[in-house]
Chain A
Amino acid sequence: MDQAAIEEVLHLLEQDARLTPAQIAERTGQDQAAVADLVRRLEADGTIRHYKAVINWEKLGSETVFAFIEVKVTPQRGRGFDAVAARLVKFPEVHSLYLMSGTYDLHVVVEGKSMKEIAYFVAEKLAPLESVLSTATHFVLKRYKVDGDVLEAEEESERLSVTP
């Protein structure tokens, strides 16, 4: 399968991870066994990391709190920012972690059950780290679009049922 065909399969799975090799084969015009082999190979080599559902927890009334934390750190000789990053990623509260250009260094997205829980994490786990110089915590008030998914669907557009 050439590069374009592989990308086609990945685009389909990115949109709907539950598609079977038979469905993918039907959509792309590829052979079903070839698709199954390809998906197995892409899973094995880590191109497809894993499959998961995109869930709107707010539907369940679940109170998840997110905070974006700007962190300034002292880079360590020889390891730059990687040493502190390696410690941070191990905390289950850390949802995402990015090294930034600009006025601060690490952008930490923290997920917790309450503001209190996040405040505890910042005060007790993050700020005391030796290389951390300062933190600025911003709480998320509302999520509109997450990882490309718009959380509140727009109104359905009305099409006439028969048009030439």
Chain B
Amino acid sequence: MDSHHLAGRAQALPPSPIRRFFDLVQAIPDAISLSIGEPDFVTPWAAREAAIFSLERGGTHYTANRGTLELRREIAAYLARRFGLQYDPETEIVVTVGGSEALDLANRALLDPGDEVVVPEPCFVAYRPLVTLAGGVPVPVTTSVKDAFQLSAAQITPHLGPKTKAILLGYPNNPTGATLGVERAREIAEVACRHDLVVLSDEIYAELTYGGEHVPLAAQPGMRERTVLLSGFSKAFAMTGWRLGYAAGPEVIIDTMNKIHSYTIMCSSTMAQRAAVEALRSCDREVADMRRQYDWRRRVVLKRLNGMGLDCFEPRGAFYAFPSIASTGLTSTEFAERLLAEEKVAVVPGNAFGQCGEGYVRCSYATSLELIEEAMRRMAAFVSRVRG
């Protein structure tokens, strides 16, 4: 068997840019890793216990395609209580296998071959491939540190054409830690309304917003009927391994997403859904506690990075810092590879998140403060050595 059996579209898909780096880090088992995009906390016990109990009771069957009504009601109540968003649990919410599936479904529900999707970069590594797999054409738009990595109307407009169908964005942002301010959200809303675009808004890091409130895209004027809110339990509730996400949006889009979901996935894991119900009902305290700990780490990382002479934009969300390493004279890849080899600290080269991420590295602070402080000491030594 050789590659002529493979689909051209699949072959053309670039391998995950993180893959090669993953192999390098794996070879150094005692490296301190700041390249992990998941919480270091374990899922709150109440949620784990609820899943165990559901197994004991024999909760091992399929659920409704959209997820249990119990969970959809809890999600609706949560979105109302936390972000003032109103969704009908019967018709406007679908529970998915992680936020990633929600993102995939939204693209497949919306895109015809050749439809264009505006994707601000740097961004999560899956955005562009998922648009491509759905038959669409990603149109990358560069956001820059001088705009606090926020997308603006002025940046979008030149990229709009007759084929533009949607904007796909993620705030709080992976990898930059940027959040979206109200003014920018309004601007994006105006553009979307004026050009009749759908906005796919990946808000999975919404709970991890520091020193301000998360700005939901769907809450902007005219946006509820054209926004698909994509989220999940991985980051806020430290539930990455459960693979549970959801989408909330207009009935017609959610219906279509659910139709695809019913053929490809059937339904999300039953015990994970049971755990998620409990997470939404009784884990506010743990969520707040994790947020507080991330915030401490965020301040330490930011101060240390700036202290070693790397310009770093102040992240206000997620659990990443995205310092510029241009002043070292190294490329992102050189910086990450040498830091790993010489000081055993792993960070992700910024170009993994789009070409415009060149000159940056992503440092995750989803790791204990002791490890962060040691990693920062080693990184400072490395930077000063490189500078000579």
Residue ranges of A at the interface with B (Cβ–Cβ < 8 Å): 8, 11-12, 26-29, 154, 157, 159-164
Contact = CB atoms under 8 A, between A and B. Distances in A.
A143 B126 CA distance: 47
Contact of B296 (A28, A159, A160): A28
24 contacts: A26-B300, A26-B303, A27-B296, A27-B297, A27-B299, A27-B300, A28-B296, A29-B299, A161-B25, A161-B33, A161-B36, A161-B346, A162-B18, A162-B21, A162-B25, A162-B33, A162-B35, A162-B36, A162-B346, A162-B348, A163-B18, A163-B36, A163-B38, A164-B125
Interface string B300-324: 1001000000000000000000000
B20 to A, nearest CB: 10
Interface residues of B, number: 28
Contacts of B33: 161-162
Given A27-B300, A28-B296, A164 B25 contact: no
Contacts of A26: 299-300, 303
Interface in B123-150: 124-126
A12 B25 contact: no
Interface in B255-297: 292, 296-297
Chain A to chain B: the 7 pairs with minimum beta-carbon distance, closest first: A27-B296, A162-B22, A163-B37, A161-B33, A162-B35, A164-B125, A161-B25
B42 interface: yes
A161 B126 contact: no
Nearest to A29: B299
A161 B22 contact: yes
- Point out which of A154, A161, A164 has the most chain B C-beta atoms below 10 A from its C-beta: A164
A15 to B, nearest CB: 9
Interface string B29-63: 00101011110101000000000000000000000
A164 B124 contact: yes
B327 interface: no
Contacts of A157: 42
Contacts of A164: 16, 18, 37, 124-126, 174, 352
A161 B26 contact: yes
Nearest to A157: B42
Contacts of B25: 161-162
Contacts of A154: 42
A30 to B, nearest CB: 10
Nearest to A164: B125
B361 to A, nearest CB: 13
- Point out which of B16, B296, B297 has the most chain A C-beta atoms below 10 A from its C-beta: B296
